[in-house]
Amino acid sequence: MPKIQVSEPLVSPDVLARVLMAGRGTGAEFSEVYIEDKRSTSAGLDDGKVEQVTSGRDRGAGIRVVSGETTGFAHTSDLSEKGLIAAARAAALAAKQGGGGVNKVQLGSLVRHPVNEVKISPDGVEKSRKVELLRRVDAAARGVNPAIVQVSAGYGDSCRRILVANSNGVLSADEQVRTLLRVSVVATGDGGMQTGYDSLGHTIGFEMFDENDVEELAIRAAKQAVTKLSARPAPSGSMPVVIKRGSGGVLFHEACGHGLEADLVGKSASVYRGKMGELVASPLVTLVDDGTMTAEWGAIGIDDEGHPSQRNTLIQDGVLTDYMWDYLRARKEGRAQSGNGRRQSYQHLPMVRMTNTFVINGKADPDDIVRDTKQGVYIAKLGGGQVDTASGDFVFGMTEAYLIENGEITEPLREGNLIGNGPEVLKDIDLLGNDFAMGNPGTCGKDGQGVPVGDGQPTLRVRSMTIGGTAA
């Protein structure tokens, strides 16, 4: 099998320097070139039939120029020197009208910050092998129970090369490979129609399928759907909630992670504004954002501003210790960048975004957490939701949940809602397990842009949360 190779820079440093000078030609204090070359493949299977197998390539540059408080931005698919300089001049004019002088730019040596070792480049794998994965998933899911009536599966991979240079002398490159497999299952019975879902994704190559059992993935999704056929309506009201390891990371990503992004803090759109150094969570909670986590879905060598990814502790023992920063917000506040400047593609401006966000291990045995909960709800998987970052209020769907009765997990529950407030939930965590795990790969949406992220946590208990069920 072919291995991924470290490629030559997408554009030469000499050309980049001239483009950056053109960006500063009107007197702007900062210019930046972001170049991206992304190749991707996807395949989908539905109802036993392969619906599509597609390949694509997207290549271009985004040029940002900053003059005072004004940012000019232009993007182009023309990576010639002429095309890049034209885009740089357009961005410069948008940032500041009028003349200036010549600003010489001296770039440093090209720096790479590899996070993962990719053994098998997906580019070199035949499409037939990728489709065969989907057929295996379909067969495994259908074999669980005759109640399974529909299986949808999808495969995707991408190889993304980026090059970032700016007028501060930064010259950084990264090659990011991601491989994904997902399955959705529908079961029907006396309890109506129920669904199950699972996915697998890492920033590694096709070797992911040598290290993970795709049939096991399909069986988990199928069993989830079949189990829910006999589920009872979820209760309503406030009660203790135990969240299984890995499955609740999305809660922290949405309910408090976004509120710790410096751009939202600066806009007064975060409930955590002005609370640095204050106790904002249970002393059991330490919340981290870490772009260096090898092979995890949000892992990056550099962010999309050329800054090396890093591990950032946001909440330490319940105390708010830092926000996440990009270049503009860090410059304005006199802070260091944190490796959280991310963008969807070369056609987008960077903004503050998470990478892999998680709560680290506590000390409690997860089984003891359940035994200590006399009555409550055990959530094995959370679904999507909505969050108001200014207030911290959220609503999440419970994709897979069970009753806890007399310290034991008992009957499955039909889907209901988990309702609460991020800051209150953080403070109400009273038991934290020692079984940390990351959850499913995700895509985080913000201001119309989506980027890959990971999240996770150990099993934990929240003293009281509101369940929006349908039981009387």
In order along the chain (472 residues), what is the average pLDDT of each group of 10 residues?
Answer: 55 95 92 97 95 94 94 95 95 71 64 88 95 97 97 98 96 96 95 92 97 97 95 94 93 90 95 96 98 96 97 98 97 96 97 97 98 97 86 92 97 92 94 97 94 97 90 57
Which letter does DSSP use for residue 433 in this model?
B
Q: Which two tokens stand for residue 33?
A: 């070139």
User: How much is the pTM?
Assistant: 0.93
Domains, in order of start, for the chain = 13-228 (3.30.2290.10), 237-468 (no CATH)
Phi, psi values for residue 182, rounded to 5°? -135, 155
Q: What is the pLDDT of residue 471?
A: 63
Torsion of CA 79, 82, 88, 94, to 10 degrees: -120
So what's the pLDDT on residue 2?
38
Q: How far apart, in whole angstroms, are the C-alpha atoms of residue 423 and residue 426?
A: 5
Output the DSSP codes for 232-292: BPPP-EEEEEEE-TTTTHHHHIIIIIGGGBHHHHHTT--TTTT-TTSB-S-TT--EEEETT
Element (H, E) at 360: none
Buried b (16+ CB within 10 A) or exposed e, 288-313: bbbbbbebbbbbbbbbbbbbbbbebe
pLDDT value of position 100: 40
Contact 387, 422 (CB under 8 A): yes
Instruction: Note whether 164 and 245 are within 8 A (CB).
Output: no
> Are 154 and 40 in contact, with CB atoms under 8 Å apart?
no
Phi, psi of 369 (to 5 degrees): -60, -45
State the pLDDT at residue 205: 97
Using only C-alpha atoms, the chain has a radius of gyration, in whole angstroms, of 24
The conformation of residue 324, written as its DSSP 8-state character, comes to B
Across the chain, how many H-helices and E-strands are there?
10, 23
For residue 383, CA distances in Å to 198, 216, 395, 413 come to 11, 21, 10, 14
Residue 386's pLDDT is 83
**367: helix, strand or coil:** helix
pLDDT at 98: 39
Sign of CA dihedral 261, 264, 266, 268: negative
What pLDDT does residue 212 have? Answer: 96
Per-residue pLDDT at 385: 81
Q: Which of 110, 93, 115 is nearest to 165 (CA)?
A: 110
